[in-house]
Amino acid sequence: MKSDKGKNMSDLVVKSNRLNTAIQNLSLVEIRLIQIAIIDSRETQTGLTSDSPLVISAKRYAECFNVEIDTAYDVLLAAESTLFERRFSFVNERDNQVKTRWVSQVEYIRGDGAIEVILTPAVVKEITRINGIENFFTKYTLGQTAVLNSAYSVRLYELVTQWRKATKTHLFDIETFRGQLGLGVNDYQRMSDFKRRVLDSAVAEINEKTDLKISYDQEKKKSKIIGFKFKVSEKERTKSVLKASNGKDCNTADMFTVKGLSDKQIGRIARNAKFMADYNHLVSSTSPAGQDSSAWEFEMTNRLKRDASQFKKRPIRDYLDL
């Protein structure tokens, strides 16, 4: 199995709007695996052909979604049987409905705690033909959806983030919308149940945890709800100011992010003895990061890039001077 050590993966999920709006029924775990597959396939150019499969390790999954390594092993083992069976449909450029799978092959690599996948031609086409016309593609950072605990929340985020520049979406027809969220024909058929158990909870989680603030209006025909339109806006950064220990005024948002820092600087922070002492409790002593300095640096660098707000004992940049 290829080593994860030293990889400097982007966490940008990029796919065509056509793929983004597909009718699908992935679980939360399966959505996350497809997200990793999209990112790593684009970055490494593997998994796109039958002679170049993509390896997704338990370590990679655990670091992306901040779960225990044992949980990641269980996820990958389960995915061997479920992910291959997952199908989706979309409308192609000829205005015909296409039905396909996400992966054409999946294999659990026993002893390595990893799965090896090959994406189907339809998926490859929709994640690789990035030709500079940004209006036709949806992109977001993995960190925004990694914190979401519901497949409905992730799918709604993906659907509305496509409209963040426009600030308002088109009308999501209710039946198509249900399929895009991953609901079956018999799931939450009553509108009150759909709104309470799916839509409202997804909106609330997105508003609480991500960079978007969304709301919706329902559209009716006579007395029947036929769809929803969403308003989408990006949250403003926190503007509160703290008095730093050196007596200077510092913006809170800047103090606890790695924005503007190079990979080399972030690596220095992760290796800093004080940083290690402050955050040693974040990893298990039996995990790779708890036993090996290189694994520690790899994991903490990724955590800092993904969500530095969890490191609040002191301003992040202070570790460069300690």
The residues near 50 (Cβ < 8 Å, ≥ 6 apart) are 104, 105, 118
pLDDT for residue 296:
82
Instruction: Quote the distance between the C-alpha of residue 256 and its chain's center.
Output: 21
Q: What's the whole-model pTM score?
A: 0.69
Same fold yes or no, 10-132 and 147-235: yes
Amino acid 129: pLDDT: 67
Residue 93's φ and ψ, nearest 5 degrees, are -65, -15
Percent share of the chain, pLDDT over 90: 46
CATH number, domain 147-235:
1.10.10.10
pLDDT in tens, 98-131: 899 999 999 999 888 899 999 999 999 888 865 5
**CB of 122 closer than 8 Å to CB of 98:** yes
Task: Give me the mean pLDDT over the 254-273 stretch.
Answer: 79
For 271-299, what is each residue's pLDDT tens digit? Answer: 888 888 878 877 776 777 777 788 888 88
Q: What counts of helices (H) and strands (E) characterise the chain?
A: 15, 13
Q: Say if residues 53 and 118 touch (Cβ distance below 8 Å).
A: yes
Range 25-43 average pLDDT: 91
- How buried is residue 129: exposed, middle or buried, by Cβ count under 10 Å (0-12/13-18/19+)? exposed
What band does 135 get if pLDDT is binned at 50, 70 and 90?
low
Cα separation, 244 vs 230, whole angstroms? 40
* Residues 99-120 as b or e (16 or more Cβ within 10 Å = b): eebbbbebebeeeebbbbbbbb
Reported as a pLDDT band with limits 50, 70 and 90, residue 251 is very low
Q: How confident is the model at residue 241 (pLDDT cuts 50, 70, 90)?
A: very low
Question: Residue 267 pLDDT more than 80?
Answer: yes
Give the angle 128-160-92 at the CA atoms, nearest 5°.
45
Residue 263: the pLDDT is 82
The chain-wide mean pLDDT, for the chain, equals 83
Give the model confidence (pLDDT) of 39-69 as tens digits.
Answer: 999 888 899 998 899 999 999 999 899 889 9
- Domain residue ranges in the chain: 10-132, 147-235, 241-320
Averaged pLDDT, 29-36: 93
Contacts of 64 (CB under 8 A, 6+ apart): 11, 32, 36, 142, 146, 302, 306
Average pLDDT over residues 215-226: 93
Backbone angles phi, psi at 141, to 5 degrees: -85, 140
Phi, psi of 14 (to 5 degrees): -130, 125
Model confidence at 188, pLDDT cuts 50, 70, 90, reads very high
Give 31 or 235, the one with higher predicted confidence.
31
Of 100, 97, 80, the residue nearest 88 (C-alpha): 100
In the chain, pLDDT over 70 holds for what percent of residues?
88
For 151-174, what is each residue's pLDDT tens digit? 999 999 999 999 988 899 999 999
Quote the pLDDT of residue 245. 36
Domain 10-132 = CATH 1.10.3720.10: no
pLDDT of residue 227: 96
Q: Which residue has the higher pLDDT, 241 or 18?
A: 18
For the record, the structure tokens of 66 come out as 């901040």
Residue 133 has pLDDT above 70, yes or no: no
